[in-house]
Amino acid sequence: MQRYILGRVVQAVITIWFVSVIVFALARLTGNPLDVILPVEATKEQYEAMAAKLGLDKPLPVQYGIFFMNAVQGDLGESLRFHRPALEVVLGRLPATLELGVLAFLVSLAIAIPVGVYAARHRGTSLDGVARGVAILGQSVPHFWTGIILILIFAVWLRLLPASGKGGIQHFILPAVTLGSVMAAGIMRLTRSAMLDVLGSEYIKLARAKGVRESIVLWKHAFKNAALPVLTFSAVMFVRILTGSIVTETVFAWPGIGRLVVEAVSYRDFPVIQTVVMLMSAMYIAGNLTTDILYAYVNPKIRYRK
């Protein structure tokens, strides 16, 4: 097992390295930060001076070399906009995103799993139908639109909830729902299908034949086995949530990395762009790794494999 994990980690590192190359190149294709930093009246001299100061005058490979050497030592460069280490800037915004993400994640789990299990249990009934319908519908609207509509209804018309910004618990509701909706839909559908597979199996029949109470059959016998694919999916989903935050945070003016990076792109703040992309990739990869380990946890077959 350890060996296996180690191998995966090495892979992950390589992947992240590639990502760094790609995003480094991409970022530089978006334009020249000086065109944002310098006042429009800036002279050629000022351009050159600034370029030199930021090391943008060197050829790209050299620039990457420098970036790489520093990155290895944990220095991802200094934000062109905030004059502080990019990593520091990003990590400063990360909590906001994570809080929102985790909340949305839990909310959607809390909704999706019971509904999914229920739908599978009562498969074919109209309740199942409605549940699926709603779920698919949830996946069918762009979630920035959901967000806009939610603001329109709850903030503008009903005046129940704040439209945006970070603050009291009530600030979390709309963004969390927006962010969670897409994911809840996915998880619900997955739970349902996974449960359907499991409920068909012999050991469920046997459990019932033992006279086990239905709820226990569902949750103890069936769900623990169905949880497997659900977990896999959830980890990936959680990372997708972080990516989704790019839009949601723009809609709700949420001070997280999503908004940070959108502004970083228009500000051509290369270090921040790079940091965020690499961070998200790292999270995605970590997510998958965790999943596999969780797999091992729920599925003894894997756990006991040498």
For 17, 182, 234, 237, 286, the CA distances from 11, given in Å and listed in that order, are: 10, 30, 22, 21, 11
Q: Which of residues 176-205 bind other proteins (CB under 8 A)?
A: 190, 193-194, 196-197, 199-205
> Does residue 266 touch other proteins according to CB under 8 A?
yes
Q: Which region among 2-10, 55-63, 68-76, 146-154 touches other proteins (by CB under 8 A)?
A: 146-154
Q: Enumerate residues 6+ apart whose C-beta is below 8 A from 154.
A: 160, 161, 173, 174
Residues in 105-124 that interact with other proteins by CB under 8 A = 106, 109-110, 123-124
87 or 273: CB nearest other proteins: 273
Distance CA 207, CA 222 (A): 10
Is residue 139 a contact point for other proteins (CB under 8 A)?
yes
* Options 4, 56, 64, 265; binder of other proteins; rule CB under 8 A: 265
The three-point CA angle 107-109-110 to 5° equals 65
Return the amino acid letter for 140.
Answer: S
**From 171, 183, 188, 271, residue interacting with other proteins (rule: CB under 8 A):** 171
Give the shortest CB-21-to-other proteins separation in angstroms. 9
Please choose, out of 9-17, 58-66, 69-77, the segment that lies near other proteins by the rule CB under 8 A: 9-17
Window 272 to 301, contacts with other proteins (CB under 8 A): 273, 276-277, 280-281, 284-285, 298-301
- The residue range among 1-9, 56-64, 69-77, 159-167 that interacts with other proteins, by the rule CB under 8 A, is 159-167
Whether 232 contacts 299, CB under 8 Å = no
Q: Which residues pair with 85 in a beta bridge?
A: 78
Task: Quote the strand ranges of 197-275, DSSP E.
Answer: none
Closest separation between CB of residue 3 and other proteins, Å? 19
Nearer to other proteins, 16 or 293 (CB): 16
Site membership for other proteins, residue 248 (CB under 8 A): no
Q: What does the alpha-carbon distance between residue 164 and residue 175 come to, in Å, rounded to a whole number?
A: 8
Residues between 26 and 85 that touch other proteins (CB under 8 A): 26-27, 29-32, 35-46, 49-50, 53, 81-84
Residues 201-240 interacting with other proteins (rule: CB under 8 A)? 201-214, 219, 221, 224-225, 227, 229, 231, 233
Q: What angle do CA 132, 134, 135 make, to 5 degrees?
A: 60
Q: Which residues contact 299 (CB under 8 A, 6 or more apart)?
A: 228
Region near other proteins per CB under 8 A, out of 2-10, 57-65, 66-74, 129-137: 129-137
CB within 8 Å of 266: residues ≥ 6 apart: 36
- Name residues whose C-beta falls within 8 Å of residue 36's C-beta, 6 or more positions apart in sequence: 266, 267, 268
Min dist. Cβ of residue 109 to other proteins (A): 7
